[in-house]
Structure formats: structure tokens, C-alpha cells
Amino acid sequence: MDLTTTYMGLNLKHPVAASASPLSSSIDGIKRLEDGGVSAIVMFSLFEEQIRQEQAAFDHLTDAGSDSFAESLSYFPAVEEYHVGPDHYLELLRAGAEATDVPIIASLNGTTNTGWIEYAKEMQEAGADGIELNVFYIPADIEVGGRDVEQRYLDIIKAVKGAVSIPVAVKLSPFFSAMGDMARQFVDAGADALMLFNRFYQPDFNLEKLEVMPDLELSSPSEIRLPLMWIAILHGRVNASLGATRGVYTAIEVVKYVMAGADAVMTTSALLRKGVGYAETLVSDLTTWMERRDYESIAQMKGSMSQMKVADPSAFERANYIKVLESYQSPYMA
């Protein structure tokens, strides 16, 4: 059984990898993830806000009325409240790269290109095998146009790719009006991989205190549908690796993502719920599923359910919308 796959130019022993999370915030956590069976580790994110004190160019955000944005400076904790600073992040990255045999992918989380370039270089020098750009940008200013948002992503990709020689992945938002076209533009800008999709965390309301409050819920298998559809549509149509994230709870989600066309399948919520050793269970269950259906390799499975390969490509389009609605049967309709 050949479970090997290639993601953003990195050779992985199987497709199950660990996405960015607190699990990788210590050298012990990084080692436990490797021992738990993941094929690659995306480090927890270094936030642009953590870099800002060392990057004078970040000041232009405050001069541009950033207090009107949901991601304005006042929205985030003070820099000193973060668990680690940029220097410690690089030290941990260096130690993790030396202590493990699986690829270590650094993660940069921000909204502009000016705060990242030097640290992208330093991440490469620290031993990162790749960099994932997590552009968490919510255009809450209604004066900002769609093209401005798209250009921000493209500028970040070009800036970071121009600064490093290691592969760069982009963790995408699902909210572009023309997702397929934007995916192609990101690849043309230099992205080696597209990770679908970024899980934006929307706030909730505390009705007792009348406050807007943060609320984190771990992902569930129901969240697989949107990234599954777009990976299936993009497979074979963009010259970049496709990574899947969101909703991975069992090996079934891994199988679905691979058959849609994913080169790597990231998980965090399942590992937080069941422990890092659960990655080994996912791989074992994936192998069992493949053996029962006489698959010999991940390569044989990959993309077999993509839009380019299925018998009815319209299943990914509007025609299927009507079929889905007509298929629903409520016990109260009888």
C-alpha cells in the first residue's frame, strides 16, 4: 500500500498532516505530533501584530483608519499578551526542524505584506520546509471594494515568494466572488499550494453584558462540504498542490478529500478532541478502507471524484442545486 503524496513540493509519507494550532506551540508538542503519526506539521501562527513593534512599516495601518476594521489594532490583545514573541517563534521553529523528521511548515497570519517579508526569510533560515500564509482579513469597512481585497492577497503572495526560495502555501478565504479565477491568480502570483479553506472565527453576542465576545467552536464533519466542492472543481485545473482543512473527524473525511483531489489533509479539531495519537488511527483506518476497495496507492485515488473525472460534472453546478432540494423528505410532509 503506497500512501505517499506530495504537497507543495514536499514528500509526505501519507496525506494526514497537522494544521496550525496550539499543539505545536512547544518542542514537546511538536515531537508528540510526529510521534502521534502526522506526516507534516504546520506550526502555530506568528501573527503580524506580534511583529508590528519591530516593523515601522506597519504604522500605515493606523494612518489608514484601521480602527474602522474588525481586525483593527484595538481588536487584538496587546503584543505582550501573546504567549510567544517573534524571536521565540524562530527559536522554536529551529529546534522543531532539528528534532523531527517530518516537514515543518511555518505559519504567518496577517493582513499586509510589509510586516512579513523579513520574518519569512528568517523562517527559511531557521529551517522551515515551507511557509503557509494565513491571510485573515475581514473587509469590515464597506468602502473597501472586492478588487482591493483580492489585490491585498496577491501583493502578500508576491512579496513573500520574492523573499524566500522554500515553497509557499496560501490558506484561502471561501468568500471570493469568483473562487476559481482567484485560485488561478494566486498560483500565477507564485503560490505553490492552496489550502482550502481558512476558518474565519465570527464573534458572538453576550446578551447579559451586551458585549461582542469571541467564541471558538471546534470544526465538525458537516464543514467538509464547501472545501470538498472547490477542491474537486480545482483539481487538474490549477498548477499547484491542493490542501484540505476543516471538518476532518474520521478517515472518511480524509478519503473524500483525497478523492476530490487533495494532496494533503490537515486536521486539528480531531487531535484536540482525541489526542495527537489519533492521527495514527486516521492513517490506519484510511489504509483499511483502501484495502477493502482494492486501492493500491493514494495516487490511484487522488482526484477520482473531481469534477474532471466524475461521470456527471453538473453535480458540482446549479443543476445539482435543484436535485438537492427535491431530494429532501421531511416526516411532516407525508
- Predicted pLDDT of residue 278: 96
Q: Please report, for residues 36, 75, 176, 329, the alpha-carbon distance to residue 214 in angstroms, rounded to integers and kept in the order given.
A: 30, 11, 24, 36
Spell 29-63 as b/e; 16+ CB within 10 A means b: bbbbbbebbbbbbbbbbbbbbbbbeebeebeebee
- Predicted pLDDT of residue 133: 93
- Cis before residue 58, ω within 30 degrees of 0? no
1-20: per-residue pLDDT in tens? 899 999 999 999 999 999 99
What are residue 41's DSSP bridge partners? Answer: 18, 104
- Would residue 315 count as lying in a domain? no
- Would residue 321 count as lying in a domain? no
- Predicted pLDDT of residue 85: 64
- Predicted pLDDT of residue 26: 94
- Predicted pLDDT of residue 62: 45
- Predicted pLDDT of residue 50: 63
- Would residue 326 count as lying in a domain? no
Q: What is this structure's pTM? A: 0.84
171-180: per-residue pLDDT in tens? 998 888 899 9
- Would residue 38 count as lying in a domain? yes
Domain count, the chain: 1
Ranges of residues in the chain whose predicted pLDDT is under 50: 56-62, 64-83
- Cis before residue 197, ω within 30 degrees of 0? yes
- Would residue 129 count as lying in a domain? yes
Q: Please report, for residues 125, 157, 259, the alpha-carbon distance to residue 183 in angstroms, rounded to integers and kept in the order given.
A: 28, 12, 20
- Would residue 118 count as lying in a domain? yes
CB hemisphere CA count around 99 (13 angstroms): 18
Q: What is the CATH number of the domain that holds 265?
A: 3.20.20.70
- Would residue 317 count as lying in a domain? no
- Predicted pLDDT of residue 30: 97
178-223: per-residue pLDDT in tens? 999 999 999 999 999 999 998 766 678 888 888 887 766 667 778 8
- Predicted pLDDT of residue 327: 63
**Using an 8 Å Cβ cutoff, are 155 and 198 in contact?**
no
- Predicted pLDDT of residue 328: 57
| Cα pseudo-dihedral 188, 21, 221, 201, rounded to 10 | -80
- Would residue 316 count as lying in a domain? no
Percent of the chain with pLDDT over 90: 56
Range of the domain at 128: 5-303
The residue behind cell 506568528 is: 46
145-167: per-residue pLDDT in tens? 888 888 888 999 999 999 999 99
